[in-house]
Amino acid sequence: MKKIAIPFKNLTYEAKLNLFFAGLVTFYALLVGQELMYKNICGGLSYDFCAYWSGGRIMNEQGYRYIYDADILLSIQRGIYPQAIKAPDIFEEVPLPYLPFFLVTFQLFSLIDLPFSYLTWSVLNIIVFSLYLKFFYKEIHAETIKSQLLLIMMLSLPVFLNLYYGQLNIWLGICTGEFIRAIFYKKPVKAGIWLGGLLLKPQLLILLLPFLLLKRELKVIAGFLISSIGIGLISWVLIGREGFLDLFGLIVSSSQGGAASNPQAMMNFRMVGTFVEYFVNETFGKILVAVCSAITALVFFLSFSRQQKLDKSSIGFTSLGVMAATCAVTWHAHIHMSIVLIPPLLFLIHDHAVERTVKYWFILFPTILLIVYLVAGLVGAGLVPRTVIPFFDLFLGMVGLVFNLIFLRLASVGAGRINQNILDNSQHLSA
């Protein structure tokens, strides 16, 4: 009996990976092309960018503090969001809970009409982040990054979603990378200055700042204070006291689940709690989130509290651990925010366990997204009941949460290994 040939069986690993790259690019292109074909700019594609674009227009026409005025924001967004055009009475504005320091760039982009401003923003993000990752890798490993590794990072789902929605997280990835690089080169004040860039989304600092205080990294904290005060003063000049009060209200609304918060699509314990509250019990859901978050934070601090000061031997696992734990426990963490994991993963990529996990992370994430779209198509065709729709976000978010916890585990084991090596060396020297 003649055996059936199995497609791609004899391909090398590199050839299989290239084949996956081609399929993934095709999948991403179809998602973007569909949105462009149906002219769904701001509806899905560039959803967040359109909010920044509207903020830039307000800054140009009325002043900086008015970007937090819901009525003014709504008046502009009703003209660009398809949801608002179809149902203006129920559309709620997409808020801008950011310091104005981080939004002034969009004064320029708002001078370019949509969708061309979004496309320009996306191309710039691709160029800047790919060049930065090449620079970061060479600075750390003293060699040029391989094309396949660069593609793994640039085609990862967090990067794609950042580009798809027109998000700001490339900045967060660069700030994280420069924090790591500065510690690597023994420049703690400079490292702290770069940490100030994370004030774009300050929820990323909820574990890192206490950890730095615990380890008495005073120079890093001093650098952070320098950049934070500078960013704060510039923002104060731009929006004043009333603007800051409005911004504080937006941040509180976002943390509590405001209209644009979308907690069910996150990759943290809050996402799990949202589904538990809906399907089981609200009180139990909140308790579950609190307990799981507390345990995860405790695991991080216990795992890394025994290490020496931050240096080139510890910063890789420490940065991976703190960012992975933060993405799991912080109150607002969508999948595109896990761009902050990319610099520490590149730093540690020669660790076998990290390298293997990165491959699973890269392949599984978009595969789950593809499955979600296929099932959604079956729902649209009436072949699958619509009751499965609420679970789409859960499936994708759970993959993100599980990988956050896996990366935390890898970082904890790696940090423990480094601590043991230091202990063994000190005992050997004293013997």
Q: What is the pLDDT at residue 309?
A: 80
Query: One-letter amino acid identity for 302?
Result: L
**Residue 254 pLDDT more than 70?**
no
Tell me the DSSP string of 293-331. Answer: HHHHHHHHHHHHTTS-S--TTTHHHHHHHHHHHHHHHSS
Higher pLDDT, 309 or 294: 294
- Write down the pTM of the prediction: 0.93
Q: What is the pLDDT at residue 255?
A: 60
| Mean pLDDT of all residues in 24-36 | 95
Q: What is the pLDDT at residue 4?
A: 60
**Residue 431 pLDDT more than 70?**
no
Lowest-pLDDT choice from 39-43, 45-49, 103-107, 406-410? 39-43
Using 50, 70 and 90 to split pLDDT, how confident is the model at 46? very high
Q: What is the pLDDT at residue 14?
A: 86
| Mean pLDDT of all residues in 382-401 | 91
Nearest to 178 by CA among 129, 236, 237: 129
CB 180 within 8 A of CB 155: no
| Mean pLDDT of all residues in 418-430 | 64
CB 77 within 8 A of CB 51: yes
**Residue 328 pLDDT more than 50?**
yes
SS (H, E, C) 87-146: CCCCCCCCCCCCCHHHCCCHHHHCCCCCCHHHHHHHHHHHHHHHHHHHHHHHHHHCCCCC
Q: What is the pLDDT at residue 428?
A: 58
Q: Please state, rounded to an integer, the average pLDDT across all residues of the chain.
A: 92
Q: What is the pLDDT at residue 259?
A: 44
CB 405 within 8 A of CB 327: no
Enumerate the β-bridge partners of residue 266. 334
SS (H, E, C) 136-196: HHHHHHCCCCCHHHHHHHHCCHHHHHHHHHCCCHHHHHHHHHHHHHHHHCCCHHHHHHHHH
330: left (phi over 0), alpha (psi -120 to 50) or beta: beta
CB 82 within 8 A of CB 40: yes
Q: What is the pLDDT at residue 233?
A: 98
Burial string for 68-98 (b: 16+ CB within 10 Å, else e) reads: bbeebbbebbeebbebbeeeeeebebbbbbb
| Mean pLDDT of all residues in 6-18 | 78
DSSP code of 257? T
**Which of 79-93, 238-252, 330-344 has the largest mean confidence?**
330-344
Token readout for 262 is 């979308």
Neighbour count for residue 150 (Cβ, 10 Å): 16
**Residue 330 pLDDT more than 70?**
yes
Quote the distance between the C-alpha of residue 202 and its chain's center: 12
| Mean pLDDT of all residues in 74-90 | 90
CB 340 within 8 A of CB 195: no
Using 50, 70 and 90 to split pLDDT, how confident is the model at 105? very high
